[in-house]
Amino acid sequence: MLPLLFFILSALFFVWSRIQVIQLGYEISKALKEGRSLAAMNKRLTIEVATLKSYGRIEKVAVEELGMSKPKPDQVVVIR
């Protein structure tokens, strides 16, 4: 009776451990997919930041949307 109980418990432990391995594999796969997605988003956002910071774009927004103009030479004050 005792060897049979030991065998059944061993079989249950083996099945449980295999299920755990499969579940962890799925979690790892999901985490890797999410990591790739976040890396792609980071790349897109880095490009967007560079685009938004570009001098040409800032100058265009200042002139067209804010009505600003370049200062005249006598309006420029150099601070040392």
Average pLDDT value for residue range 27-40: 98
pTM here?
Answer: 0.62
- The CA-atom distances, in angstroms, between 60 and each of 2, 53, 67, 70, 76 are 85, 12, 10, 11, 20
Task: Return mean pLDDT, the chain.
Answer: 94
With a CB cutoff of 8 Å and minimum separation 6, the contacts of 53 are none
| 50-77 pLDDT per residue, tens | 999 999 999 999 999 999 998 888 888 9
